[in-house]
Amino acid sequence: MSGPLHAKHKMEMAWAAEVHDPCRAMEIPFRLKQSSDIYTELGINGLSLHHAGKAGHEADPSTVPLIREYPETALALLPFVEHGQRFIRAEYRLYEEGYKAKAVAATAGARPSTPVLA
């Protein structure tokens, strides 16, 4: 999501990976447009950086492949042209740290579950 609500509804790259991985296994095209930011088309390499980090690699944000797959169609599509802004390493770390901090805060503020009476 981009725009004023981006901070409230932030895209978690782990969630995107949970959707992408089964799609990849089933050979279903998957396209990640962007991460969450006030400006559109920022963080177009976020999912690839997430996958690299999950595998224990520190990928170069300027060369990591983008996950922008398109289905085959009867009509020819225009050739892919990179559009948008890639994260640099420091931006990606801040993005991930911001999401983790939000998740911890949400967990800390959560009310204990109420037992269900049968």
Domain boundaries, the chain: 13-72+79-108
What are the residues facing 31 on neighbouring strands?
A: 68
pLDDT of residue 116: 41
pLDDT of residue 111: 43
pLDDT of residue 52: 93
pLDDT of residue 104: 58
**pTM given for the model:** 0.65
C-alpha 114/C-alpha 12 separation (Å) is 28
Q: Within a 13 Å sphere around the CA of 28, how many CA atoms are in the beta-carbon half?
A: 7
The tens-digit pLDDT sequence of the chain (118 residues) is 566 766 676 778 888 889 889 999 999 998 887 776 656 667 778 888 888 999 999 899 999 988 877 778 888 777 777 777 888 888 888 888 876 666 555 555 544 444 444 3
The number of helices, as runs of H, and strands, as runs of E, in the chain is: 3, 0
Cβ partners under 8 Å of residue 23, min gap 6: 29, 30
